[in-house]
Amino acid sequence: MKKILIGIMIAVLPTSIFAIGGFGLSVNSSTFSVDAGSSDLMVENIKVGSFSYDSFENGGGIGGYLYLDIIPVIDLDIEYNVTGNEYNFTFENAVTTSETQKFVFAAGSMFITIQKPVFDLGIPFLAKAKLYGGLGMNTNVSTPMVNQEMLESVFGGASNLENGEYDYNAVTEYLTDNAVETSGFHIDAGVFFKVLTFSGSVYYRQVFAEDAIPGNKGFGSMNFRLGLGI
């Protein structure tokens, strides 16, 4: 058994010594809150229908990452992830009587982060860990919340809002095709670890980007990663 363990250590040791970075998958749990909304559909000051959506909060998602630690003093980290949640949307006009269906809110973000280790902890030949902090920029794409202007586009004009037929697929397709693009900055902090050729981290990220989540100036997330060194 001892010989087998030594053989494994020798096989992976060059990779551990000369690793320049790593890649892998991440999962996240984001913290945010979106308020419920409702509105009458008005055409020439006459109510022709209404719509509403429930509040929802938080979301879960998945992503991928690449990091480089060959730069002196700092590390460069690139990650893309998505997060989402479901909520109820209700529509009503002269043709459709209070129909409620599930809508999906989805947001995708790319994070470019400069990270700096603040404390190292190593186990010779087998593992290492470090505490780190980071600062970076992000770009975000998210589905908007419905408003009357959107419904007018889907129905082919305001004049059709009263007697037009509600099409769930057309509304969801419109939301996807008209996603909101935002940008901002973020900070993060966490623990990075490496065991042989495997690496991962547990970290918290705070994003500052107005309307990346509708009606919010930012959001936070807890994240977990697992991948391989390169």
- Summarised one tens digit per residue, pLDDT across range 75-109 is 999 999 999 999 999 999 999 888 899 999 999 99
At residue 6, the 3 state secondary structure works out as helix
127: CB partners within 8 A, 6+ apart: 193, 194, 195, 196
pLDDT at 24: 96
Give the domain extent around 187: 2-229
At residue 92, the 3 state secondary structure works out as strand
pLDDT at 167: 92
pLDDT at 125: 57
Does the global pTM surpass 0.95? no
In angstroms, rounded to a whole number, what is the distance separating the alpha carbons of residues 207 and 181?
A: 15
Weakly modelled stretches of the chain, pLDDT under 70: 1-19, 122-126
204: CB partners within 8 A, 6+ apart: 188, 189, 190, 220, 221, 222, 223
Which CATH number do you get for residue 143? 2.40.160.20
Q: Count up the domains in the chain and report the number.
A: 1
Closest CA to 210 of 189, 185, 187, 179: 185
Closest CA to 27 of 3, 57, 80, 63: 63
Question: Within 13 A of 167's CA, how many CA atoms are on the CB side?
Answer: 16
